[in-house]
Amino acid sequence: MAIKIYPNRIEFEKYSLIITSTGLLVTNNADASNAAAYGTFTARDSDVGSHFQGTNAGINMGVYGWGVGNSCCIQRMPFSTEGLASCIGTLSTSKVSVAGASSKTHGYALGGQTGSASPSYIKYAHMDKFPFVSGGCASNIGSLVGGARERAAGLSSTTHGFAAAGGFPAVSVIDKFPFSTDGSSQCIGNTSNARQNRAGFNSYTHGYVAGGGPPDTTTIEKFNFALNSGASGIGNLTCARDGINFAVSSSTYGYIPGGVAAGPVYLRIVDKVSYASDNPAVSAFDTCVARIAGAGFSSTSYGYFSGGTCNNGTTPAGNLTTIERFPFAADVTGVCVGSLPVGGGLTGSGQF
């Protein structure tokens, strides 16, 4: 069998594999109009990096414990052994409420603040970077040109990191920076809503932000990683909620857990958003415990929710250390598979 290789396609027998903007098109050479019968599939190059799914470990960056205060600890839990996470390093300064982004080799903690929600806290525009494997003290590589802010949504393509919205008072700016070189970000557009505590998740091609407040919103927005443009609304969450500055991503869906609704009511619900269609979210399953301001990271087969707080209306709130895992293959409540040495919320996350 002869195989012919061209710059944009591979021919074998009577078929071709053609590179398209959405993946590989399998077509019949004799009848190109019949291409739809064979379909397309998206092939991912493992050398590029996982960006939103890891094969090694999940990461928590910084944490605020009610009644305890700040910890700048970077915590890592291996996917292969799970169990107790370990502290592998520290952020460049004692801060929380960072947005997390991930390249193949490094974690990024974007923005942040000192302390809890107080009129006197300090906001940062810092862009911290640290190696996933060796850990250590993160280094400040630049600044968010969209401004110093806390509780932004962190997202990652294969080549760039993003920080969307956040701040108090909230802003709508989207910052973008390359993983290939260290330096400050650039502003590429805006979300339609200026909110903090927005859930950030992503497909291979698009970034998504959802919910947040104040005031609480149901809005789900999407923007194209390849285009330097703003986000547009595509649907709504099942209910308006704040405190959902964490989410996880499978290859086909984004999952937005917990949060707090008016009342306040602390939620266990996990909403599920399809990347294939711009539709409203659906209620998929419940988390083991109602939590806000936690962290979410993803392997190729599982989503993980970690840390956060479970305030039931009393002070101080409960600082969670649990790491909960659920399978992407089924919409079922997860199980506890590990714990953090430092519990609490207002943390960033990543994976490698």
DSSP 47-102: TT--TT-BSSEEEEEEEEETTTEEEEEEEEEETTT-EE-EEEEE-SSS-BSPEEEE
Residues 36 and 153 in one domain: no
Please check whether residues 113 and 20 belong to one and the same domain: no
**Those residues with Cβ within 8 angstroms of residue 133's Cβ, 6 or more apart along the chain or in another chain:** 105
Do 324 and 237 lie in one domain? The reply is: yes
Residue 183 shares a structural domain with residue 147: yes
| 20 & 128 share domain | no
Residue 37 shares a structural domain with residue 180: no
How many structural domains comprise the chain? 2
Looking at the fold, whether 135 and 270 belong to one and the same domain comes out as: yes
**Distance between CA atoms of residues 96 and 106, nearest Å:** 19
33 to 28, 138, 168, 235: CA distances (angstroms): 8, 54, 54, 34
- The pLDDT of residue 41 is 47
163 & 304 share domain: yes
pLDDT in tens, 124-157: 999 999 999 999 999 999 999 999 999 999 999 9
CATH number of the domain that residue 216 is part of:
2.120.10.80
**Residue 61: left if φ>0, alpha if ψ -120 to 50, beta else—which one?**
beta
What tokens does 146 get?
Answer: 């969209």
Whether residues 31 and 64 fall in one domain: no
Whether residue 339 lies inside any domain: the answer is: yes
Answer yes or no: is 245 within a domain.
Answer: yes
What is the pLDDT at residue 46? 44
pLDDT at 126: 92
pLDDT by residue for the chain (352 residues), tens only, comes to 577 776 667 777 667 777 654 556 667 665 555 444 445 444 444 444 457 889 999 999 998 877 777 888 999 999 999 999 999 999 998 888 999 999 999 999 999 998 655 557 889 999 999 999 999 999 999 999 999 999 999 999 999 999 999 998 899 999 999 999 999 999 999 999 899 999 999 998 999 999 998 888 999 999 999 999 999 999 999 999 998 888 999 989 999 998 888 878 888 999 999 999 888 999 999 998 888 889 999 999 999 999 988 865 554 568 899 999 999 999 999 999 999 999 888 889 999 9
Residue type, 333: T
Q: Say if CB 171 and CB 147 are below 8 A apart.
A: yes
Containing domain of residue 161, as a range? 57-351
Whether 328 maps to a domain, the answer reads yes
pLDDT confidence of residue 119: 58
Q: What pLDDT sits at residue 20?
A: 57
| Among 315, 245, 255, CA closest to 285 | 255
* 210 shares its domain with 74: yes
| Domain-located, residue 46 | no
pLDDT of residue 121: 82
52 found inside a domain = no
Two tokens at 60? 């928590």
Is 295 within a domain? yes
What is the pLDDT at residue 71? 85
The answer on 323 and 198 residing in a single domain is yes
Asked if the structure places residue 49 within a domain, the reply is no
